Structure 1
């Protein structure tokens, strides 16, 4: 008899380590097939192979629009084009959002290449220029949409977060429907994380107050959970003692402790902090520390489901 709980826990261990997301999804594909979970199998297959039709909401990112305009006697100027002035709704929606149909491995590569650009860019069809020209005093030479690499990387984080939450429930022997689960969770994650991917491409400053606000039900923790999470982060602190260049970890650890001091600590915020720890410490520590870290992080996440 197949021990699905053990399989789920094995995949969770990979999610907490340095295993590429594509390898984790391949293992999850076997898990889904053995469990006869057609919804999970379909989702994993689409993440691995790419989406032919419309991708899920967490893969559709808010984007900006840049236009190079030639003005006689003045030359070419690059401007930020405000998409809200476009009258046609279908074009306005398309030019203010960038869908990512790519396989998950391509998305990982987009965010890990060596060039110094902080954005991902995509040229728009020349056929659309006529619509944009109505709002310009000049001739369009080039135009492209852009999103920050951080926002694109959030797609991978969302996939991991969905898997972690789902598999934690499986490891607790909870019988849940993946299709309804992923729709609900992905919507919540999109509302709370993807919007944080807005970037400023000009000289000014963008303030995104409340970007980490969590919406929905069951978002706070009780006193017992609070005490357990405090003990976990203190144990992880001890594991991290002696590591060099641990500034990023210290910031996350401080954020967790400060959040736990509040009257109503936010589950979503704490979950994202704990999910970030394996990546941060994994780049600084040995495999021995990474293996010791996994049970603590999994315990914390199980309290935050």
Structure 2
């Protein structure tokens, strides 16, 4: 019988398996191994991006406008700034678009935001036209293929790290290996994905998509001060140190983004979940769950 990771590899190689189903497998594996950053990436792929999508989700096409008399026509002039756009939609929506386009005219229209449509009206001295980016379905197929490849690479990296699992779970040793090797088996680090999910400044006392960076900064020294107590209660010391260091570095880096911070906080929460009976861990878990908005109760 195939192990969990072997099953994931086989699913990634099966072009008949929907990418949305493949991602649910990844979510299951990541949750079992406590890899919060991978879970966060999966959530955005499954539910749609609330922050700037990664570079592989940028599609190119032909800018067009709808003339009330002539119908859709190409936009003239320097259209390079209008020739690409990010795809925020969930993978299930992209899959549906590809299937639907095969039955239609072979192209898809992505309407421009209202401010750009108003600007194009002014530039063309018209009123009430519609404008869109005409995109080939192959662009969305490319995104789905990229996600499938990312998953396959990740599953192969799990195997290289000696993490295979059984049919439906992983043993304690494999879970510890996953935590120790998180930086090399994290989907967020394949193809420089992390860093491309968004470009908001996260330094100072500001809120990034619901995450208050000052609040995050205030909890880190408290956890460091009680490190020995947390480890004695069951938290994995090396993992705890790694996540605290990573969070401090992320907060000091203006290029760190919402997704990266959420993933690190989720990793930290999973690490502290092992410190059963610690009042410090329980208090920190309540704060982290409130930050993440997960609704996950403290142990």
Deviations 1:264-304 (A, max 9, x none): xxxxxxxxxxxxxxxxxxxxxxxxxxxxxxxxxxxxxxxxx
> What residue is the counterpart of 1:37 in the other structure?
35
Identify if the C-alpha distance between structure 1 residues 126 and 185 changes in structure 2 by more than 3 Å, giving closer, same or farther: closer
**Does 2:107 correspond to 1:119?**
yes
**1:166, 1:100 → 2: CA distance?**
23
Structure 2 residue 12 is matched with structure 1 residue 15: yes
Rounded Cα–Cα distance in structure 2 between residues aligned with 1:186 and 1:111: 27
Distance 1:170 1:38 in 2: 15
The answer for unaligned runs of 5 or more in structure 2 is 163-180, 196-299
Residue 40 of structure 1: how far off its partner (Å): 0.9
Question: C-alpha separation between the residues in 2 aligned to 1:83 and 1:45?
Answer: 39
Structure 1 stretches of 4+ with a deviation exceeding 6 A read none
1:184 aligns with 2:181: no
Residue 172 of structure 1 pairs with residue 160 of structure 2 = yes
C-alpha change, 1:105 and 1:130, in structure 2 (3 Å) is closer
Counterpart selection for 2:3 from 2, 6, 16? 6
User: In structure 1, the residue corresponding to 2:53 is in which secondary structure?
Assistant: coil
The residue that corresponds to 1:27 in the other structure is 25
Contact 1:62 1:97 in 2 (8 A): yes
What is the CA deviation profile of residues 71-92 of structure 1, one whole-angstrom value per residue up to 9, with x for unaligned ones?
xxxx54643114636xxxxxx7
The answer to whether the 8 A contact 1:111-1:152 is kept is yes
What's the offset of the Cα at 1:159? 0.3
Q: What is the deviation of 1:112?
A: 0.7
Match of 1:149 in 2: 137
CA apart distance, 1:185: 6.6
Query: Cα distance, 1:143 vs. partner?
Result: 2.0
**Which of residues 53, 70, 76 is equivalent to 2:51?**
53
> Residue in 2 aligned with 1:106?
93
Aligned to 1:210: none
Distance 1:157 1:186, change over 3 A: farther
In the aligned structure 1, how far is the partner of 2:117 from the partner of 2:46? 34
Distance 2:149 2:10 in 1: 13
CA RMSD of aligned residues (A): 3.0
Contact 2:58 2:84 in 1 (8 A): yes
Q: Classify 1:39/1:56 alpha carbon distance in 2 versus 1 (closer, same or farther; 3 Å).
A: same
